[in-house]
Structure 1
Amino acid sequence: MTRVIHSLDPHGRTGGRAYLRMLHDVTADEIDWQTVPDRKRTYRVRRWRKVRHLARITPAVHALRHSPGAFVWDDLSLLLFTPEMRARTIFVFHHYESLQHDSPPVEALLWRRLFQVLPQCAAVVCVAPYWARFLRARGIDRVHVIHNAFDLAEIDHTRSLDRQACRAEFGLPPDVIAVYAGKAVHWKGTATVAAALGSDPGIRVITTGSNTIGFPGAHFDLPRDRYLRLLRACDVGVFHSSMREGWSRCAAEALLVGMPALIRRRAGLGDLARLTRQPAPELDRLPEQVRRRASAPEVDTKIAYDALARLDPGYFATAWNRLLRQVPE
């Protein structure tokens, strides 16, 4: 008999949506997922986005108060739950970054209240050890780390692709070092990396995603298969996020397809750097570092692959099913 679990809708382009989508996929045989629409990223005007989201989702949350089943929840609308609902909830804590507040000064108060009610949840899951320590320092004890997971069949297929053919697809000359700087969105550090490398004619900075910062360089907004081919085409990843990230799925996927990287050791991104033994970027000598990493021995990329390859859907399903069985309905 399948269990009923309620969650926000997992569709979207962020790492958090990808995490929730994988959870739905790997537990589909055991769980009847009932979802609530999550429209907070559909508003064109960013200001007050989370407050508008809370107002709009309130009726849907209230309608669940007497519904059977458990909850896997991952945003501020947990504040609308009753204590009894929270006792049936696993909260997925992706990360916290005040730079991303779109509803100040109210939003800081909402987050403070969230930290106060998280101990009422059956469990809290985060994607990196940094965030587990962050939560425990705030008195939240029932914290579990379940990392992002990756489809290794998809990754290994990408690794098998002819790299020169992938470079030709994206117009990358053989004498240019292609540097992947991640998503061109706010606080990811892509503009900083481009500025540190921009005067070097032998290096081309490449970004992906929705380009909310208006990056003027080589930018690609691609479907999944072409995005992976682009990663295969690049020589080095440089990830210099100024915000405290959960873990960075972009950086992890770049490492998995065989790209040596330079990763800033900050928050969850630092956990990823330490796990895969990637050095940190130094902006004042970044071109030199990039050239050195572009010629890194194969053993460096194998260390990163081996560290991440254990985080496959089987690992993810086992960890989550074990935790879900402990949650009351």
Structure 2
Amino acid sequence: MKISLIGTTNRNYGGDAYENMIAEVLSKEFDVKFISTGVKIKNKFKYLEAPFILWRIFKTSRKKEFDVIIRNFTTSLCLNKKPVKNIAIIHHIDNSTQFFIIGIIRFFLEKIIFCNIKKCDIVVTISKCWENYFKQKGYKNIYRIYNAFNLDDFKFTIEEIELLKKKYNLTEKPIVYIGNCQKAKGVLESYNILKDLDVHLVTSGKPRIKISARNLELNYRDYLLLLRSSSVVVAMSKFKEGWNRTVHEAMLCKTPVIGSGTGGMRTHSQTHLSTFTKRHIRGHAKIIKKYSGNSRSQKFLLVSFFPPKIYVQLSNFKNIIMNKIKLLLNPEIKKDIKLIKETLRREGIKI
């Protein structure tokens, strides 16, 4: 059986990390191909490529060699015709940080995308926030599948942490990680608010905005070590997050988080806000004071450093994804399961 994932980028963080995990899981049993329809130009002229991106998305909808097509929100602009099965993965929907003209164009394109998502065989969301959003709009076949993590990745030694600090000259002062280096993540505002503190202000990832904070392009292990080494992680996203994987990774590293709580990010705070103790608040009083005293900053919330329960372990994630695909391809299995459950209930057996 052939499956294709249609994406717009090939990065390995945020929503792309989630889709890469799905591709890795499915490739164990199926023939999986990733098709990128995104920007090829990497400079300021990239917006001129928009018509070509639309053409690439349209071309993917003509493909007949795949049994299942998995798309993100943007590439759901065009769907494949039956008998191909269509799956949409929704991370977030928010154009508030887009370039003005692009935002207007996307506003109209989204009307088509929303109609198409209703036609999808399965719609996957990654947080309760967006699951509720679609259910309230009357969408069917909505499934919430949380991000997955391998908990072994979050085991660190003191030697590893100290080595990372020395390697990147992050010694002597506390480290404050302010997010992935892009405007939508609020790093510019966070830097301007915190820049006079005697700390190392650090961002990561490919820089998409120029600020004077230290930016590091790290492999995944060093990135997690950076989160673990940080005194606090600041996540002031300006758009409605689907989830915010960085916040979750920081919490699994047992590092306190101060976040804006936008969109799906609030899932983290609602579960764990009460466990952020007075000692933690006192320990980060200067940073909290900076945000609360700045009239232009967003309202912030505190997220605890206790490992959250709202995630899926990698082994369970594999089972969930495989089951959804198999049920999609073999609807009779679903009927058999329903019949078995009804029979057991009639026999008085609890399930």
Q: Could you tell me the TM-score, scaled by structure 2's length?
A: 0.78
Corresponding position of 2:294: none
Corresponding position of 1:327: 328
Partners of 2:96 and 2:46 lie apart in 1 by 13
The change in CA–CA distance for 1:212 and 1:83 in structure 2 (over 3 A counts) is same
Corresponding position of 1:212: 208
Structure 2 gap ranges (5+): 291-303, 331-351
Q: CA deviation at 1:20?
A: 0.9
Corresponding position of 1:221: 217
Corresponding position of 1:297: none
Corresponding position of 2:3: 5
Partners of 1:41 and 1:241 lie apart in 2 by 26
Matched residue of 1:193: which SS? Answer: helix
- Who wins on radius of gyration, i.e. which is larger? 2
Structure 1 gap ranges (5+): 292-299
Partners of 2:196 and 2:268 lie apart in 1 by 29
Matched residue of 2:312: which SS? Answer: coil
**Superposed CA RMSD:** 2.7
Pairing partner for 2:169 from 168, 171, 175: 171
Question: Is 1:242 aligned to 2:256, yes or no?
Answer: no
Q: CA deviation at 1:180?
A: 0.7
Corresponding position of 1:295: none
Partners of 1:40 and 1:276 lie apart in 2 by 38
Corresponding position of 2:55: 55
Contact 2:71 2:89 in 1 (8 A): yes
Partners of 2:250 and 2:14 lie apart in 1 by 14
Partners of 1:117 and 1:323 lie apart in 2 by 20
Q: CA deviation at 1:259?
A: 1.1
Letter matched to residue 186 of structure 2? G
Partners of 2:243 and 2:40 lie apart in 1 by 20
Contact 2:5 2:32 in 1 (8 A): yes
Partners of 1:94 and 1:15 lie apart in 2 by 9
Partners of 1:144 and 1:161 lie apart in 2 by 42
Corresponding position of 1:127: 126
Letter matched to residue 262 of structure 1? I
Question: Is 1:183 aligned to 2:180, yes or no?
Answer: yes
**How do 1:36-185 and structure 2 match up within 5 A?**
36-40=35-39, 42-44=41-43, 45-62=45-62, 64=63, 66-84=64-82, 88-101=85-98, 103-156=102-155, 158=156, 161-174=159-172, 176-185=173-182
Q: CA deviation at 1:288?
A: 4.8
The change in CA–CA distance for 1:160 and 1:90 in structure 2 (over 3 A counts) is farther
Contact 1:83 1:120 in 2 (8 A): no
> Which of structures 1 and 2 has the larger relative contact order (alpha carbons within 8 angstroms, sep 6+)?
1
Partners of 1:172 and 1:122 lie apart in 2 by 49
The change in CA–CA distance for 1:268 and 1:51 in structure 2 (over 3 A counts) is farther
Corresponding position of 1:294: none
Partners of 1:92 and 1:57 lie apart in 2 by 15
Corresponding position of 1:307: 309
The change in CA–CA distance for 1:200 and 1:104 in structure 2 (over 3 A counts) is closer
Partners of 1:290 and 1:31 lie apart in 2 by 52
**How do 1:13-24 and structure 2 match up within 5 A?**
13-24=12-23
Contact 1:123 1:144 in 2 (8 A): yes
The change in CA–CA distance for 1:246 and 1:108 in structure 2 (over 3 A counts) is same
Matched residue of 2:183: which SS? Answer: coil
Q: CA deviation at 1:50?
A: 4.3
Contact 1:26 1:313 in 2 (8 A): no
Task: Work out the percentage of aligned pairs sharing the same amino acid.
Answer: 19
Partners of 2:187 and 2:72 lie apart in 1 by 27
Matched residue of 1:98: which SS? Answer: coil
Contact 1:159 1:232 in 2 (8 A): no
